[in-house]
Amino acid sequence: MPVVTNLLDFDLSGLTDLLATMGEKPFRAKQLFRWIHHAGAGDFGQMSDLSRGLREKLARSCAVVPPRLVAESRSEDGTRKWLLEVSPGNRVETVFIPEEGRGTLCISSQVGCALECRFCSTGRQGFNRNLTVAEIVGQLWWANQALGRDPEGDRLISNVVMMGMGEPLLNFEHVVTALRIMLDDHAYGLSRRRVTVSTSGIVPAIDRLGRECPVALAVSLHAPTDPLRDLLVPINRKYPLAQLVAACERYVVCAPRDFITIEYVLLDGVNDEPAHARQLVEVLKPVSCKVNLIPFNPFPESGFQRSSPHAVQRFRDVLIQAGLIATTRKTRGDDIDAACGQLAGQVEDKTKRTHRRLGGSYV
Ligand code: SAH
Ligand code: SF4
């Protein structure tokens, strides 16, 4: 079977190079790119301003191939979740969260995650592979088709957060190419301030993102001391808090917003005491940031409980009294397991983590 080139894999400069190999001028690449991402066309027959010759040439060796839809769920609160198959046995989840004045798409970057944060359902599932550019951007392409447009003819997705399955900064190249497509005015034209990469703290990649494609940054902190963070977010053993905080300081200088979002999942009796909040205030002193407190979203056998509303309020008050901006994230879509940390998809685990946990004899 001839190899088909998936055009969702290319940003505009990549598409320009590809078309050059077919003897086509750069403006043709721009037209094609607009058809694919701006108009959402997947069929070359629709691309009326391309010559018939070019359309036939493209149809012989290229296609627009988004991930395959397996299932869709809708929450009572309007949140929608799509389960997309990226290869046999491997499925990722994408979530759309409608809010007053904006619509946010939460995108996955990997099949599973290799980092094993203790409170995260994705981390529990193990890791299979990085998503390709087409599989990352294909989630946005797909969701735009599924959602259609509002009565004014505008798209419903105004914001993208890389907060689905996986650690985006461990799939750096593909994520950055996908971000460039999201930001490109000929494609989705999203503002850098409205595209957020969330990371558990891959310090060198935070610096690289600042240099190569600064977008809004969220850092999943979850603990104010190294011993506790080592337990909850094991990548902390490699990049401890002091290094992470220093990377945040450096990032703010090139970031499109003048602050970083700090994410903090509140786990009952684990990291939600006022003393933790006071320690967090100290840790965050050097960084211009806003803290987003996330009530823990339970999943089977997590071993953690959500903090009580009283504990959340108490924690938040300490931060606010110290002059920090702190908000509590509204839980959305938990009736369809679409809330933060509940995404699980389907992962053919290559790390054998699930086997180990279930008492298998893996050595
Ligand atoms: N790997 C990246 C992005 C995906 S996780 C990261 O860790 O930042 C997106 C967010 O959901 C992170 O802040 C993560 O810590 C949080 N999260 C994970 N499990 C959760 C759970 N069970 N309840 C609430 N939030 C969770
Ligand atoms: Fe991976 Fe993020 Fe989950 Fe940690 S919280 S296991 S980094 S997806």
Indicate if ligand 2 lies below 6 Å from the C-beta of 93.
no
Whether 105 and 163 share a structural domain: yes
Mean pLDDT, residues 65-76 taken together: 92
Per-residue pLDDT, 339? 65
Residues 6+ apart with CB under 8 A from 260: 217, 218, 219, 248, 251, 252, 287, 288, 289, 290
In a domain, 88, yes or no: yes
Please name the residue whose Cα sits nearest to atom 24 of ligand 1: 296
**CB neighbourhood size of 186 (10 A):** 18
Which residue among 24, 93, 135, 263 is the active-site one?
93
Per-residue pLDDT, 294? 94
Whether 133 and 265 share a structural domain: yes
| Model pLDDT for residues 32-57, shown as the tens digit of each residue | 999 999 999 999 999 999 999 999 99
282 flagged as catalytic:
no
Residues 111 and 128 sit within 8 Å (Cβ to Cβ): yes
What HEC string does 29-54 produce? Answer: HHHHHHHHHHCCCCCHHHCCCCCHHH
In a domain, 334, yes or no: yes
94 Cα–ligand 2 center, Å:
15
Structural domain of residue 45, as residue ranges? 5-63
DSSP class per residue in 251-267: HHHHSSSSSEEEEEEEB
Please name the residue whose Cα sits nearest to atom 8 of ligand 2: 166
Per-residue pLDDT, 342? 65
Whether 230 and 81 share a structural domain: yes
| Model pLDDT for residues 72-89, shown as the tens digit of each residue | 999 898 899 999 999 998
Please name the residue whose Cα sits nearest to atom 6 of ligand 2: 123
Per-residue pLDDT, 362? 30
Q: Does position 353 have pLDDT exceeding 70, yes or no? A: no
Of 121, 126, 144, the residue nearest 64 (C-alpha): 144
In a domain, 363, yes or no: no
Per-residue pLDDT, 165? 92
Phi, psi of 303 (to 5 degrees): 80, 0
CATH code at 48?
A: 1.10.150.530
From residue 65, alpha-carbon distances to 86, 187, 279 in Å are 10, 16, 48
Q: Does position 109 have pLDDT exceeding 50, yes or no? A: yes
Mutational pocket test of ligand 1: of 113, 265, 293, the residue with most ligand atoms within 8 Å of the beta carbon = 265
Separation of alpha carbons 324 and 310, rounded Å:
19
Whether 184 and 152 share a structural domain: yes
Q: Which residues line ligand 1 (CB under 6 A)?
A: 119-120, 163, 167, 198-200, 220, 263, 265, 294, 296-297, 340-341
Whether 50 and 151 share a structural domain: no
Please name the residue whose Cα sits nearest to atom 13 of ligand 1: 220
Indicate if ligand 2 lies below 6 Å from the C-beta of 164.
no
pTM to 2 decimal places: 0.94
Whether 191 and 238 share a structural domain: yes
Whether 96 and 183 share a structural domain: yes
Per-residue pLDDT, 166? 96
Q: Rounded to the nearest 5 degrees, what angle is found at the Cα of 220, between the Cα atoms of 196 and 279?
A: 135
Residues 87 and 80 sit within 8 Å (Cβ to Cβ): no
Indicate if ligand 2 lies below 6 Å from the C-beta of 199.
no
For the chain, the first-to-last Cα distance in angstroms comes to 40
Nearest atom in ligand 2 to the alpha carbon of residue 114 is 1
Cβ-count burial 278-294 (b if 16+ within 10 Å, e if not): ebbbebbeebbbebbbb
From residue 125, alpha-carbon distances to 97, 121, 161, 294, 297 in Å are 24, 7, 21, 21, 16
Separation of alpha carbons 343 and 336, rounded Å:
10
Whether 33 and 76 share a structural domain: no
Mean pLDDT, residues 136-148 taken together: 95
Tell how far CA 245 is from the center of its chain.
Answer: 21
Separation of alpha carbons 20 and 8, rounded Å:
17
Ligand nearest to the backbone CA of 220: 1
Task: Name the domain count of the chain.
Answer: 2
| Model pLDDT for residues 260-305, shown as the tens digit of each residue | 999 999 999 999 999 999 999 999 999 999 999 999 988 888 899 9
Indicate if ligand 2 lies below 6 Å from the C-beta of 169.
no
340 flagged as catalytic:
yes
Per-residue pLDDT, 359? 42
At which of 19, 45, 63 does a domain end? Answer: 63
| Model pLDDT for residues 240-271, shown as the tens digit of each residue | 999 999 999 999 999 999 999 999 999 999 99
Residues 6+ apart with CB under 8 A from 330: none
Residues 58 and 44 sit within 8 Å (Cβ to Cβ): yes
In this prediction, residue 352 has a pLDDT band, given cuts at 50, 70 and 90, of low
Separation of alpha carbons 217 and 259, rounded Å:
8
Separation of alpha carbons 170 and 164, rounded Å:
14
Residues 6+ apart with CB under 8 A from 61: 2, 3, 4, 5
Q: Does position 355 have pLDDT exceeding 60, yes or no? A: no
